[in-house]
A = this chain, B = another copy of it.
Amino acid sequence: MANTFEVLAEPRRREILDLLRVCERPVGDLVGRLGLTQPAVSKHLKVLRAAGLVDVRQDAQRRWYRLRAQPLAEVDAWLAPYRQFWNERLDALERHLDAMPDERPGTGKTDGTEGI
């Protein structure tokens, strides 16, 4: 496993991250909210820990899990060049609309700078 993308592929693990984004939580809390058995949750947490996506803090028998979002930056970085790509699509739509006979809702200004 070890790869962030694979780790995120599991819906349950994304749920766990979503929960941990709100606050630090012990395993039992996650078990209750996810409707999974305790071993299943522990296993997912192990995977998340191995990927550096969560951190543990031990407090007696309880272990508080905390989000570490940093590895998600890797995903974000991979996504970055694509972002421009899907913006292009939107821009194309926009240009298309702009190119239409000047029927802009709102401003009637035509200063000629909109083609940029």
Contact = CB atoms under 8 A, between A and B. Distances in A.
Interface size class of A (residues with CB under 8 A): 20 to 34
As for how many copies of this chain the complex holds, the number is: 2
A5 B10 CA distance: 8
Interface stretch (A29-37, A71-79, A103-111): A71-79
Interface string A86-115: 100100000000000000000000000000
A101 to B, nearest CB: 27
Interface in A1-28: 3, 5-6, 8-9, 11, 14, 17, 21
Contacts of A76: 79, 83
Contacts of A72: 79, 82-83, 86
A87 B76 CA distance: 12
A11 B21 contact: no
